Amino acid sequence: MKVEVKKGPTRQRKILGYSFKLQSNATIIRSEQDAEVVGRKLVEMRSRGAVTPQAIVEEARRRTSPLHKYFEWDDGRAAEKWRTHQARLLIHDVDIEIRYEGGVQREVKAFHSVVANGGRAYEVATTVFSRTELADQIIASARRELEGWIRRYGQYESLAVMTRHVQQALTVTAKTTPARRATGRVRARAAA
């Protein structure tokens, strides 16, 4: 979404248009035109009440809704996609305790999503950080997450100092550092 900020005491913002970002296979909006249609529909919905996931699904149920095509309406396929999503949540809820050289202990994700052997899969953290090509993927992913954080929150004046520090850290660490080797034991984290 592009926003125009007008100078003045109230600093009003006017939406100039909508856009989409391509994030792996999760993105269902595939064009700028689609982003514009979806953005306008969501703003229209907001004028009638709160925009919640439930409200969006209800709006999309109508075959004539511009949101309809972005949802899986075959219940069997939708159920399978949901179970796959739950599997991702499950694997994200497992942590391991790592002891680094020097005795420092830290709890970290037990599995990381990486591309290896021609496909994407989850790999144990100790393996990821013992193989440079896999560790580099995680470091690149972390950088993308921080860059995304700056895009999402950089507009807020109250976060300006934090945003500046994150940007500086990204600049300073632009060269990939070697992954630290670690050993660990598995311990499940209770899901909140």
Residues near 67 by beta carbon (within 8 Å), at least 6 away in sequence? 38, 41, 56, 59, 60
Query: Dihedral of CA 66/69/71/75: which sign?
Result: positive
Question: Can you tell me which residue has the tokens 């529909």?
Answer: 41
Q: Are 29 and 40 in contact (CB under 8 A)?
A: no
Query: Tens of pLDDT along the chain (192 residues)?
Result: 443 434 444 444 555 566 555 444 445 666 778 888 888 999 999 999 999 999 999 999 999 999 999 999 999 999 999 999 999 999 989 988 877 788 888 888 889 999 988 899 999 988 898 899 999 999 999 999 999 999 999 989 999 999 999 999 898 887 545 444 344 443 444 333
Can you give the pTM of this predicted structure?
0.64
